[in-house]
Amino acid sequence: MIWNKSKQPADPQQGTAAAPKKGGAAAFAKKNWKWLVPVAIVVLAGGWWLLKPKSAKPANVDTSYTEVMPETRDVSNTLSVTGTLNPANTYSVKSLVSGKVLTGSFEEGDIVEEGTVLYTVDSSDATTKVEQAAITLQQAQRSYDKTVDRQYVRAEVAGVVSSLKVNKGDEVKSGQEVAVVRDSSKMNLVLEFPAADAANFSVGQTAEVTLDGTFEVLPGTITAVTGTDALSTGNLLTRTVTLSVSNAGGLTTAQAATATVNGVSSIAAANFQYQAERTLTALTSGTVTAINVREGGNVNKDDIILTLSGEELTESIQSASETLRGAELSMQNMQDTMDNYTITSPISGTIIEKNAKVGDALSTGSDLCIIYDLSYLEMTIKVDELQVSSLKVGQSVQVTADAVKDKTYEGLVTRVSMKGDTSGGTTTYPVTVRIDETTGLRPGMNANAEIVVAQAKNALTVPNAAIVRGSYVLVRQDSPSAVNADASMSAPEGYVYVKVKTGVSDDNYTQVTSGLSESDTIAYDPSSVSSDSYYDDGGYDYSDGEVIGGTENAADPAEGGEEMLPEETENAEEPAADAEEPAEGIDPAETGAVVVN
């Protein structure tokens, strides 16, 4: 057909408009039917080609399938992340005091134990301050003790309360007499002897004491002799001698007596005196709140006879207590400061860096050394928010380092942080891994951590490419599982599609937990690239092909999965219903195409 024989004008609109003038459209069509017919055919064919359902486009007739049987193997899903190795603990030792370094005998690389002395610093100035603080504390303690004791009236000597001058509830003034205590178990007799004779007397020497009136003779003992002579009445030189006489109860201060020592008699008689007698007074004003010994009662020295109370006394005690506490704190601070002049290792570890040496002048905050605890190493890895839920404390980690060839270290997840870091719209979570066996490893090295987040042992598996639309497998029609074929899916001749339930997958294989058996024969296109990206996010442990805990995440077309059949093209997003009208003369089943009804 020769198209240029037509007399059609250059502008079709002009030709159409001119036709009626020469007899109308019927006349024009009758006259030009020879070239209008082929044009109409071309227009219709082009329209059909543009408007035909895209999903019905014939599939590649060259598609070839590989037939295999499901196999039993171990499958694991591994998370691989890199990180930097860090010591178990790091401590930077700093000086808390200023002064000259006196000792520091360790070196970099030395291993030290916790408490090992690292440095000593000159503390001469601090020692003086400690002594001053100690003196202040002693003074505050004495002042407090005296203030507290003012509330008590104590017996100054052992004896008998001969007189009690107050009652409970009485108000007393400071210095007021409240009681008298006497020691009458022994009586003293003070006599004058001729000086010449008394000069030969000695303490402890016995004497004979003669009571006036009864002339009873009692034994006595010299307790004191004056060392100087005195001129008595009658111009006689005398010395005073004091005798102690035991009192069985009959002697009083009204009784007079003379004495003879080695035949030398006293110049005159004298009355007995109590060995001890004290008039007790209140040391502060207050109210008598307790009387512990009644009149006539026996007391020992320092026994509390009565107790006083009052606001003034309470305030004095409180003030003394606060002063004492302040002195105690000051002393404690000074002692703590003294401890800082001896610098010890805060942890057990290895000296990584030494920054001060003997003779250096330190100031507060000076860096002294850095210690690493290398008992184990740690690495912190950043795990994506989509994967972090599959990790848990206690999971095993395989760690490798570029610096240590052909060696794998065993690690353990010790912490999964709940706080994430967001950057560029992506959130990651820090996960801490501990490595106990560290031979060859050093802090700062880059390492790779591989964590098995899901695994299945003795699992029934198929190649990843065999899983289409997330949960379907092409099965030969004579396979046992073909009875479970999905009738809604068209398959190539001799095959059917079976819906399966998937489990763990790795780079090559996917676990099938239900839907297939080892006796089945499946088919798949090995050249296709599956978009399946199954990830089991529970950190599960699989045993004998079964999932122990967790849920499965295999994509399902009915649930919005994005997996595509290997046979689909870039137009796979068109609804499958559009494939009901395949191109004339082509059977999808014969070409390997899949049609979903």
**Tens digit of each residue's pLDDT (9 = 90 or more) over 115-147:** 999 999 999 888 999 999 999 999 999 999 999
**Tens digit of each residue's pLDDT (9 = 90 or more) over 439-485:** 999 999 999 999 988 889 999 999 999 999 879 999 999 999 999 99
Q: Phi/psi zone of residue 494: left (φ > 0), alpha (ψ -120 to 50 degrees), beta?
A: left
pLDDT band at 64 (very low <50, low <70, confident <90, very high): confident
pLDDT band at 48 (very low <50, low <70, confident <90, very high): low
* 225 within some domain: yes
Per-residue pLDDT at 513 exceeds 70: yes
Give the model's pLDDT for residue 559.
Answer: 35
Per-residue pLDDT at 560 exceeds 60: no
Give the model's pLDDT for residue 526.
Answer: 84
Do both 299 and 268 map to the same domain?
yes
* 381 within some domain: no
* 199 within some domain: yes
CB 563 within 8 A of CB 468: yes
Do both 133 and 157 map to the same domain?
no
CB 435 within 8 A of CB 51: no
pLDDT band at 39 (very low <50, low <70, confident <90, very high): low
Measured between alpha carbons, how far is 222 from 272 in angstroms, rounded to an integer? 14
Do both 188 and 299 map to the same domain?
yes
Q: In the block, which residue shows the tokens 């303490």? A: 203
Do both 271 and 246 map to the same domain?
yes
Query: How many Å separate Cα 491 from the centre of its chain?
Result: 61
CB 137 within 8 A of CB 328: yes
- Flag the least confident range among 299-303, 367-371, 534-538, 581-585: 581-585
Do both 202 and 296 map to the same domain?
yes
CB 531 within 8 A of CB 563: yes
* 482 within some domain: no
Give the model's pLDDT for residue 233.
Answer: 78
Per-residue pLDDT at 22 exceeds 60: no
Per-residue pLDDT at 372 exceeds 60: yes
Q: Which domain holds residue 106?
A: 91-123+340-372
Per-residue pLDDT at 384 exceeds 80: yes
* 542 within some domain: no
Q: What percent of the chain has pLDDT over 90?
A: 66
Do both 133 and 185 map to the same domain?
no
Do both 223 and 267 map to the same domain?
yes
pLDDT band at 421 (very low <50, low <70, confident <90, very high): very high
Do both 269 and 230 map to the same domain?
yes
Model confidence, pTM: 0.51
User: Cα–Cα distances in Å, from 91 out to 147, 206, 369, 392, 414?
Assistant: 49, 81, 8, 29, 21
Residue bearing the bigger pLDDT, 551 or 398: 398
* 173 within some domain: yes
Mean pLDDT to the nearest integer, 163-169: 93
Q: Under DSSP, is residue 79 helix (H, G, I), strand (E, B) or coil? A: strand
Per-residue pLDDT at 585 exceeds 50: no
Write down the H helix ranges in 100-220: 124-149, 195-198
Burial class (CB in 10 A: 0-12, 13-18, 19+), 421: exposed
Q: What percent of the chain has pLDDT over 70?
A: 78
Which DSSP letter does residue 360 get?
P
User: In the chain, count of helices (H) and strands (E)?
Assistant: 7, 36
Mean pLDDT to the nearest integer, 528-550: 42
Do both 142 and 96 map to the same domain?
no
Residue bearing the bigger pLDDT, 86 or 557: 86
**Tens digit of each residue's pLDDT (9 = 90 or more) over 313-359:** 999 999 999 999 999 999 999 998 899 999 999 999 999 999 999 99
Mean pLDDT to the nearest integer, 222-226: 94
Do both 230 and 267 map to the same domain?
yes
**Highest mean pLDDT (candidates 10-19, 561-570, 585-594):** 10-19
- Flag the least confident range among 73-82, 134-143, 150-159, 543-552: 543-552
pLDDT band at 401 (very low <50, low <70, confident <90, very high): very high
Q: Give the CATH number for residue 352.
A: 2.40.50.100
Which helix (H) or strand (E) element contains residue 491? none
* 112 within some domain: yes
Per-residue pLDDT at 290 exceeds 80: yes
- Our count of domains for the chain comes to 3
* 133 within some domain: yes
Write down the H helix ranges in 172-266: 195-198
Give the model's pLDDT for residue 184.
Answer: 87
Do both 224 and 286 map to the same domain?
yes
Do both 147 and 193 map to the same domain?
no
Mean pLDDT to the nearest integer, 192-206: 93
